[in-house]
A = this chain, B = another copy of it.
Amino acid sequence: MRERYFEDFTVGQTFHGGSTAPLTAEQIKAFAGQFDPQPFHLDEEAAKHSIFKGLAASGWHTAALTMRLFVESDVQPVGGYLGVGGEELRWPRPTRPGDSLRVEIRVLETRASRSRPELGIVKVQITTFNQNDEVVQIAKPVMMVPRRPA
């Protein structure tokens, strides 16, 4: 796949990627056991009686799966996906066992870097959907992308 320099990104441009295999309850619990050990991410019975009304993946698990889909998408910046952070991260609904996630990516903003003339800044929105086209995450990461050599 062709790699993109800063100059190849324009506001409004959209990109897509593949989708994850259906997430299993075991994967949800394994991630939570390591990084977000709360009953509603670890145990079906406890989760039934929680605000989630059933086992729910950690939001950070959804975020990590989204990163995988982003890296494997057709965005392909030269030098890789160098995120410096983001301005928004929201989980409108949880990811559940059996969910298969996919992403849509849209360029929100492009600008030169003030401090590093060899780099540009590209801000995108990544919307993560489940298999029912319900939004499980909205993220607005900011990436550094090399400028095309003169």
Seen from chain A, the residues whose Cβ lies within 8 Å of a Cβ on chain B are 31, 34-40, 50-51, 58-60, 63-65, 67-68, 71, 79-91, 138, 144
Contacts and interface: CB of A to CB of B under 8 A. Distances in A.
Interface of A, secondary structure class, is mixed
Given A58-B67, A87-B88, A89-B85, A80 B40 contact: yes
Contacts of A79: 50-51
Nearest to A59: B83
Contacts of A60: 60, 63-64, 67
A29 to B, nearest CB: 15
A34 B64 contact: yes
B38 A68 contact: no
A88 B86 CA distance: 6
A139 to B, nearest CB: 9
B85 A91 contact: yes
Nearest to A82: B51
The winner among A35, A82, A83, A86 for most chain B CB atoms within 10 A is: A35
Contacts of A64: 31, 34-36, 60, 64
A86 B60 CA distance: 12
Contacts of A31: 64
A3 B64 CA distance: 29
Contacts of A80: 38-40, 50
A90 B85 contact: yes
Given A50-B80, A79-B51, A80-B50, A36 B67 contact: yes
